[in-house]
Amino acid sequence: MSIASELPFQTPVYLDNSSTTRTDPRVLDEMIPYFSVQYGNAHSRSHAYGWGAEKAVDQARERVAALIGCRDSEIIFTSGGTESCNLAIFGVARMYEEKGKHIVTTAVEHRACMDPIRALEREGFTVTYLPVDTDGLVEPSAVEAAIQDDTILVSVIFGNNEVGTLMPAREIGAICKARDVIFHLDACLGLDTEHIDVDDFGIDLMSMSGHKMYGPPGIGALYVRRRRPRVRLRAQMLGGGQERGFRHGTLNVPGIVGLGKAAELCMEERADEKVRLTALATRMKDKFFAELDHLYLNGHESKRLPGLLNISFNFIEGESLMMGMSKVAVASGSACTSATLEPSHVMRALGVGEDLVHTSIRFSLGRFTTEAEADFAVEQCLVAARKLREMSPLYEMVKEGIDLSTIEWKHD
C-alpha cells in the first residue's frame, strides 16, 4: 500500500486556491437544475422556462449585491474576472477619453488589468505606474499626488494574487471621491474573507470572479455605480442589449446561479473563515521558519489575505522545490504567468533580489484545506528543501561564513 493511500486525505494536497478554488458542493447543488430542468433563456419572456431563468438571475444578482453592499441593478454579469477588469478599464477609457486620457495604477497589478492599461498606453493614453514599498503597499498620498486634471481612472488591485498584500483601498477610494476620479478595484481575490462595502470604500467599479470564491469558473461580475457618480461604460461587444447594455450576450444562467450562491456563502462564512485561515497560515509559517534558515516572507506581515503565504527559500530554485514536493499542488509566482521563466513583475516591484525571485513558493489555503493537509504540505516541503540545500554549494559556503556578496564570479 502506498503512503498516499494511507493518508486521511487526497494527494496531491491542493494549496493553489489563489489560482482557482474548488466549486463548493452547495453551489453545485443549486446549479444542476439549470442545466437540465430549468434551462430557459433569461431573456425569453414569453414562457415559464424563461420566467424561471429570469427569476434565478434576479436572485443571484441580489445575493452578489448583498455581499458588497450595493443595489442589485448595479451588478453586471460577465464571463469572469478578466472580462470584468477589461470592461471596467476599456469601458471607462472609451467613454471618458474626451475628458482626459490619464490613468493611475500600481506596479503590482494582475495581468487582467495591467495588459489592458498597457494597450491603452500604446493608443496614446498616459499612465502613471505607482511604485510599492517592500511589503507591496502603495502609499495613498502617492495616489493623490499622481492625480492630474485629465485623470479619468484609478485602478488598483485589492488582494495581491502573488504575495497576498491588501491594498489600502478605503483610503484610495476617499481620495478618488474628493478628486472626482473614477475608482476601479480589482477584488477578484479576497471576497471570501474580507468585508468590502462599496460605499464605505468609495468604489465606483469593482471586478469579481466566481472561481476565486468557491463558485464555478467562467462567471464573474462587475459592480458599476449608478449614483454619485453615475458611471458610464462603453460596451466592449455588441449583440442583444443585455446587462444594461454594458455586456451583451445570452446570460450564463447556471453560472450566475452558482455565483449568487457562492456570494451568499462568502457573506455568511467570511468572518469565521478569516480567523481559521489566519491561524492555519500562521501555523505553516511558524513551522517553516523554525525548521529552516534563510527564509523570507514576501508581502506584508499582517495586511494580507489570510490564506496566502509567499515564501522565498534562499539557495533553492523554486521549480526544483516544487518538483521535489510532488504530493503538494502549489505555485511559484502568479499562476497566470508561471508558464514563463520571466521574473515576476510583482516581486521585482517589491525589490526582491534576483537571487530570491526564482526561489519563492506560493502556498494558498482555502475553505477546504484541513490542518492535517497543511501539516503534510509543510513536511513535504521541508524534506525537499533540506535535500536541495544539501546539494547547494552556495548554501554550504554561507554555512562556512563566506559572504557571497564579496565573491567575484568569473564566467568563461
- Strand 205-209, strand 220-224: pairing: antiparallel
Structure letter (DSSP) for residue 14: E
- CB atoms < 10 A from the CB of 82, how many? 20
206 to each of 155, 157, 256, 262, how far by Cα in Å?
A: 9, 10, 17, 17
Sign of CA dihedral 140, 142, 143, 147: positive
176 catalytic? Reply is no
Cα torsion at 20, 263, 305, 307 (round to 10°)? -60
Sign of CA dihedral 89, 91, 96, 101: positive
C-alpha cell recorded at residue 408: 567575484
39 to each of 52, 55, 89, 380, how far by Cα in Å?
A: 9, 12, 33, 46
- Give me the phi and psi of 222, to 5 degrees please: -125, 125
- Which member of 70, 188, 266, 336 is catalytic? 336
| CA dist., res. 75 & res. 84, Å (int) | 11
**Helix (H) / strand (E) containing 237:** none
Active-site positions read: 336
